[in-house]
Chain A
Amino acid sequence: MKHFAKAWFLILAAVLLGSPFFAERAGAMDFSRILEPPSLSHFLGTDSLGRDLFARLVCGAGVSVGVSFLAVFISIFLGTLLGAVAGYFGKGIDKLVMGLTDLALCFPVFFLILAVIAVLGPGFWKIAVIIGLTGWMGTARLVRAEVLSLREREFVLAARALGAGAPRIIFRHLVPNAARPIVVNAVLGISSAILTEAALSFLGIGVRPPAPSWGNILNDARATLGVAWWLALFPGAAIFLTVLSANVLGEDIGKP
């Protein structure tokens, strides 16, 4: 499983590097060849506008994976910062930050995202930022718990005895020693961010057509599901494999 997950991410990386070369093909419509099943000329078939599905999936990977990486980066950064500060300082600051975290966890996140997009409008950057800003709570709790146990360790006391200030202790000693669970959290976060992006695009408020993303390719497939199975199967499989690989890899890194 682990090797399969790694292999899939290698393939994804290659696809991401290659995606600019497929941009033109992904947008090229050919009305004489709509809804063609997989063949030699169109490896994964064509959609209802005669566009090559393979090219669209490759370009969509850039969008879907790009959005989720950016989102995870934002949420991990925020969560780590808030969790470490809460755990290290304790007392009032801890109560405040954890209160904020509980509050944020109470929101039905998906509907919050829907509402925000309804106001701001969709787009690559907006989607990434909004998914990131609503995903930091789990990381914050995790990092806080790690820091709470780390800060009593003797090497942290030794650093304090040397006169190290809070920023040095937090960023030099505490966060690096919590790196493993943070990385696990990040990798698992990628899978949920991909799902969220796909769901948003599927609902038509994510990445805007004609720019392809795995979610909106699936959305397009809905109308012709009865006659063109390949339009739903392949983007669905891409999402499935990526999420599965991220989960498997996350669990593997988390093993001591």
Chain B
Amino acid sequence: METILEANHLRKTFKKHGVKAVDDVTLAIPKGRTLGLVGESGCGKSTLAKLLLGLLPADGGEVFFGGQKIAALKGAGLKNFRKNAQIIFQHPHASLDPRLRVREILAEPFWIHGRPDASFLKQKVAELLERVGLPPHFSERLPRELSGGECQRVAIARAVSLDPALVICDEPVSSLDALVQAGILNLLLRLQREKGIACLFISHDLRVVRHMSDEILRMKCGKIGRF
């Protein structure tokens, strides 16, 4: 099957504590499908997510996105990769800039990738809010005026705003209560099916991963195993 993202022998050690956070990890995410990753907290899942997106430099190994090595990407190539690979974080409030309104948060991707005009942005923001099931008047709110679930919906809207090919979900529902969790998971599934987005779904909760994934990997002490 065609893969969208591949990692070969990825390694990362944090010098300060001498912890091997990611130890010789090899994985491949198929196009349009969901790869689940379970592991207890502190086993290196989040570090792996950051390595895969090039948000942290790896100590060894390489990551390929659409056949291109991401460590070597520059300029337009890097911008294209950033447009196509997104991440959703665990803490809903921490992943939104506390000083920006929802409208500004959702407009940012379009500012970064092009110079849009005001009416285009307005329409896009309204569209995105609708896609994640938030009422239009939320565009004027600040993150602190939203609940955890609502924040996570905004973060999801931001992540899918540029129609990426891959979204890494790093514990997207772990800090939400059960009812809200179900709503967010269903939203993710729906968006993924609509647009055929590939997904790496990271969680410590096996039931959640089972619900979301086509294939599941297990991570323990930085190493990856079949489940």
Show the binding face of A for B, using Cβ within 8 Å. 153-155, 157-165, 168, 172-173, 176-177, 179
Contacts and interface: CB of A to CB of B under 8 A. Distances in A.
A155 B142 CA distance: 14
A163 B78 CA distance: 8
Instruction: Select the residue from A158, A168, A179 with max chain B CB neighbours within 10 A.
Output: A158
A205 to B, nearest CB: 43
B178 interface: no
B55 A162 contact: no
Nearest to A179: B99
Contacts of B109: 162
23 contacts: A154-B90, A154-B91, A154-B95, A155-B94, A155-B95, A155-B96, A155-B97, A155-B98, A157-B55, A157-B89, A157-B95, A158-B89, A158-B95, A158-B155, A159-B108, A161-B55, A161-B85, A162-B108, A163-B113, A164-B108, A165-B112, A173-B97, A176-B97
A161 B89 CA distance: 11
Nearest to B50: A157
Contacts of A158: 87, 89, 95-96, 155, 158
B203 interface: no
A13 B152 CA distance: 46
Contact of A160 (B55, B91, B99, B155): B55
Nearest to B85: A161
A161 B96 CA distance: 13
A162 B158 contact: yes
Contacts of B95: 154-155, 157-158
A146 to B, nearest CB: 13
A154 B112 contact: no
B21 to A, nearest CB: 15
Contacts of B90: 154
Which of under 10, 10 to 19, 20 to 34, or 35 or more describes the interface residues of B? 20 to 34
Contact of B86 (A153, A155, A162, A168): A162
Contacts of B55: 157, 160-161
Contact of A153 (B50, B79, B85, B94): B94
Contacts of A176: 97, 99
Given A163-B112, A176-B99, 11 more contacts: A154-B90, A154-B91, A154-B94, A154-B95, A155-B97, A157-B50, A157-B55, A161-B53, A163-B79, A168-B112, A177-B97
B12 interface: no
A165 B91 CA distance: 23
Task: For the complex of A and B, list the 7 residue pairs with the smallest distance between their C-beta atoms, beginning with the closest.
Answer: A163-B82, A154-B95, A154-B89, A154-B94, A155-B97, A161-B87, A176-B99
Interface string B72-109: 00000011001101110111001111110000000011
Contacts of B158: 158, 162
Contacts of A153: 94
Nearest to B161: A162
Nearest to B83: A163
A173 B98 CA distance: 9
Contacts of A162: 82, 86, 108-109, 112, 158, 162
A165 B155 CA distance: 19
Contacts of A173: 97
A177 B82 contact: no
Contacts of B155: 158
B112 A164 contact: yes
A164 B86 CA distance: 12
A226 to B, nearest CB: 57
A153 to B, nearest CB: 6
Nearest to A163: B82
Contacts of A155: 94-98
Contacts of A179: 99
